[in-house]
Amino acid sequence: MDKIDLLNRWAEYIEYLLYDDRGNQPEITKPIGPLSLEAEVENAIRKMNKGKAVGPDSIPVQTSETLDKLGINKRSVLLNRIYDTGKILTDMFISTFIILSMKPETTDCERHRTISLMSYTLKLLLKLLMMRLRKKYDLKYQKCSLDLSQTREQQMLC
């Protein structure tokens, strides 16, 4: 398999993994919950994993630990604007995908793990939403391992 065929195969596989058939996004006409409090944002920043690779914006999580109240306030304002309008900045959609082999010398796409490096603000927004969902539905943190017998949807919900 030459390099072009290999890249095309990976493009097909990633497209399969991320395929979204939910149709058009709903129009948000009003907030669906309370806005984020500065204390929530500060707590989410504290709980984010440190020392991870940076996303396309090149902002490491550790940068936020040095923010004072003004920095926390500005992040809260931005996150609340996104939450209130349902509109995410275009730059936040850019992610870098990295493919890691789970077994040496394998060429099967399913035997690789893909990770996504995303912007810091998107990570923070997702962290806030997950914290709220866990609190609302009393979800417990759980570690999941890749089980190839599960469907893609089952793996994503884990």
- pLDDT for the residue 157: 53
Amino acid at 116: S
Token output for 34? 């309370």
CA distances from 63 to 74, 108, 111 (A): 14, 38, 34
Euclidean distance between CA atoms 158 and 146, whole angstroms = 9
Token output for 41? 């944002």
- pLDDT for the residue 145: 56
Q: Between vectors from CA 48 to CA 43 and to CA 52, what angle results, nearest 5°? A: 160
Q: What is the pLDDT along the chain (158 residues), one digit of tens a residue?
A: 788 988 888 888 888 887 878 777 767 666 556 667 888 888 888 888 888 888 888 888 877 777 778 888 888 898 888 887 778 888 888 888 888 888 777 777 778 888 888 888 888 888 888 888 777 776 655 555 555 566 655 555 55
CA-wise closest residue to 94 among 125, 63, 121, 132: 121
Contacts with 109 (C-beta within 8 Å, 6 or more apart), sequence order: 9, 10, 13
